Structure formats: C-alpha cells, structure tokens
Amino acid sequence: MTLSAAAPNPALPEQESCAEGVRPPLREVILARFRLVAAAQDKAVAPLTDDLVLLDSGLDSLCFAIIVASLEDELGYDPFTEAEDVFFPVTLGDFVKFYERVR
C-alpha cells in the first residue's frame, strides 16, 4: 500500500463524530434546516443573519411550518407549544433565541 492510498481523500466529506451527545450547536441546526427547506421548496432564501426579518427571508408560511415540524422531529420539542409565553419571532435571531430559551 502506498502512502497516498492511506491518506484521507480531501474530496470526501468529513466523517461525523461517533461520540454520543455530540451535536452541532442549535443555531447551526436551525440554519441548516432553513437552507434545506428552502432548497426542497425551490425558494431563494436571503442571507441568514440574525437581523433578517423572517417575512423578508424569501420563505412562505408552508416553509416555516415545515421548518418547525422538522425541527420538532430532530430536536424532540416545539417551543411554540411548550413555552408558556409564546410570541412569534420577527427576526432569525429571535427565532434561534426562542428555540434556545425553551431547550
């Protein structure tokens, strides 16, 4: 075997950690879900910054419903049904903080 055969292939995606409990930060999970749903619904999403007004994101109400439902499946909770003082986030930063607060 040559050294090049044993070296990792940089073109392949990095392998995820096998350690239990190792999860990406909640913000990254949420942003990834926004991008995934936008692509699946064939929507052009605005740059995902904390000050992005959700109504100006390029996503419609169906996209947001899919995002919330799929985040509930992935995270195991829905802050819109679990929080005592529900409010509707205006910006992406508000959306992320709402999920972090209930977590």
Q: Are 65 and 88 in contact (CB under 8 A)?
A: no
Q: What is the pLDDT of residues 66-91, one digit of tens each?
A: 999 999 999 999 998 887 877 789 99
Mean pLDDT, range 28-39, rounded to an integer: 98
Bridge partners of residue 91, in order along the sequence: 53
Instruction: Indicate the pTM of the whole model.
Output: 0.75
- Give me the CATH topology for the region 24-102: 1.10.1200
Backbone phi and psi for residue 91, each to the nearest 5 degrees, phi listed first: -115, 165
Model confidence at 32: pLDDT above 60: yes
